[in-house]
């Protein structure tokens, strides 16, 4: 017997090649507008270009299901023709959810993830605005079943970021995302971000820190002077979100904004019990390093359980330690249609990783927590 009310807290659209060329001012931006091109004369791969800089291939985002059939085919190189239509056609997206036994989905970008690593903030803000408009239209085709997360750029433009966040909610998006770590020299414990946290709380919109969205200057591996991703990077991509959460908690962000909701997405969850314990221990013992003191007997772990939600895929080890994390904060996601996706085996995988978990907790993890947070 399969799960009936399954909601993916982390699914993706795949931006169609025409998205930005149709929606952005060509007189203003010209060829700087994001566009899909071949990598070169001897490179048949479709690559995304931003401001004429090659930044994103299409292989991984066109590999749904290959992990179950032929994982050797999961490579960066790829062509857009291999992307599942459900990535960019809403009716097909819903059909694929039906195939996978999934009722609803929270939708993040694909090409838009590594865009956070690009320079030229003025261009990037227009790019995000056009994407948010397209995503809102995409979700309007099935508003009860798919809900979009808008892209927001902060950096030195906090007021602009707040304005776009408010606009995202006005056009029907269910949440927004910011970079999983701000640009070099900045961090989310700085006072410059306070107005953004306040505004997010005021309009009651969840804010996500999604993997692969660091701003320039923050990559683990650099080869030949360029950012690169290694196997070690993939095993440690929770590093930056750990820094975000600890920095925000230790300066009292959630004490000042108790209804602010932060979602960390696609970092899995087994690391959380140790991390939460270390935050509490350091808070108690290292007053010089953590001078901000919470009211009463409050600990960092209290804010982790009240204000932070965790979107994961199939971390059965984390599920075993769910009580140490907070069952009410856990939200399963399929990552459709990316290479890591559980599609089309989501029902089977859920039954395996949740074996032995009480039914009421299963219901919360597979959809209930997500439905409550995003209003399904």
pLDDT tens-place string over residues 17-52: 999 999 999 999 999 999 999 877 777 888 899 999
- CATH no. for 7-18+84-374: 3.20.20.140
User: What is the DSSP annotation of 347-360?
Assistant: HHHHHHHTTTS-HH
The answer to whether the CB of 249 falls within 8 A of the CB of 281 is: no
- pTM beyond cutoff 0.75: yes
| Positions of E strands within 77-200 | 104-108, 146-151, 175-178
pLDDT over threshold 70, residue 357: yes
Peptide bond into 341 cis (omega under 30): no
Domain range annotation of the chain? 7-18+84-374
Answer whether residue 225 shows pLDDT above 60. no
| Mean pLDDT, residues 119-146 | 97
Residue 234 has pLDDT above 80, yes or no: no
Q: Angle at CA 110, nearest 5°, toward 108 and 114?
A: 110
Distinct helix (H) and strand (E) counts, the chain? 17, 13
Which residues does 250 contact at the CB level (< 8 Å), separation at least 6? 189, 279, 283, 290, 292, 300
Task: Please provide the DSSP assignment of 209-248 as one string.
Answer: EESS-PPTT--SEEETTEEE--HHHHHTTHHHHHHHHHHH
**Residue 102: both structure tokens together:** 């999934």
**Candidate from 161-175, 225-239, 264-278, 340-354 with smallest mean pLDDT:** 225-239
Tell me the percentage of the chain whose pLDDT exceeds 70.
91
- Provide, for the chain, the percentages of residues in helix, strand and coil under a 3-state DSSP scheme, each rounded to the nearest 5: 45, 15, 40
Instruction: Give the pLDDT score at 77.
Output: 64
**pLDDT at residue 146, rounded to an integer:** 98
Distance CA 160, CA 183 (A): 16
Q: What is the mean pLDDT of residues 172-185?
A: 95
- Provide the pLDDT for residue 222: 45
132, 167 Cβ separation under 8 angstroms: yes
**67-76, 138-147, 262-271, 328-337: the lowest-pLDDT one:** 67-76
């Amino acid at each position: 017997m399969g799960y009936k009310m399954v909601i993916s807290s982390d699914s993706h659209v795949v931006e169609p090649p025409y998205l930005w060329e149709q929606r952005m001012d060509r007189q203003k931006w010209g060829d700087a507008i994001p566009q899909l091109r071949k990598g070169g004369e001897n490179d048949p791969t479709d690559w995304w270009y931003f401001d004429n800089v090659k930044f994103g291939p299409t292989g991984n985002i066109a590999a749904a299901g290959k992990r179950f059939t032929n994982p050797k085919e999961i490579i960066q190189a790829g062509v857009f023709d291999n992307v599942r239509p459900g990535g960019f056609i809403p009716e097909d997206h819903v059909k694929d959810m039906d195939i996978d036994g999934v009722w609803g989905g929270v939708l993040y970008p694909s090409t838009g993830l590594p865009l956070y690593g690009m320079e030229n903030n003025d261009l990037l803000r227009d790019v995000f605005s056009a994407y948010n408009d397209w995503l809102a239209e995409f979700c309007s085709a099935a508003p009860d079943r798919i809900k979009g997360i808008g892209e927001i750029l902060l950096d030195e433009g906090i007021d602009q970021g707040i304005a776009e966040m408010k606009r995202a909610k006005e056009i029907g998006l269910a949440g927004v995302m910011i970079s999983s770590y701000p640009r070099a020299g900045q961090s989310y414990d700085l006072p410059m971000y306070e107005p953004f946290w306040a505004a997010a709380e005021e309009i009651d919109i969840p804010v996500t820190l999604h993997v692969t969205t660091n701003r320039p200057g923050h990559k683990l591996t650099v080869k030949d002077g360029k950012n690169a991703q290694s196997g070690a990077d993939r095993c440690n991509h929770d590093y930056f979100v750990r820094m975000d959460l600890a920095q925000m908690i230790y300066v009292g962000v959630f004490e000042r904004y108790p209804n602010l909701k932060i979602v960390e997405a696609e970092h899995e969850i087994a690391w959380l019990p140790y991390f939460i314990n270390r935050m509490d221990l350091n808070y108690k013992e290292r007053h010089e390093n953590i001078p901000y003191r919470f009211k009463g007997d409050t600990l960092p772990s209290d804010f982790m359980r009240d204000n932070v939600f965790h979107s994961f895929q199939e971390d059965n080890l984390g599920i075993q330690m769910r009580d140490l994390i907070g069952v009410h904060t856990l939200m399963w996601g399929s990552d459709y249609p990316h290479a890591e996706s559980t599609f089309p085996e989501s029902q089977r995988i859920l039954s395996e990783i949740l074996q032995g978990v009480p039914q009421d907790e299963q219901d919360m993890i597979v959809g209930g927590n997500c439905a409550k947070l995003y209003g399904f």
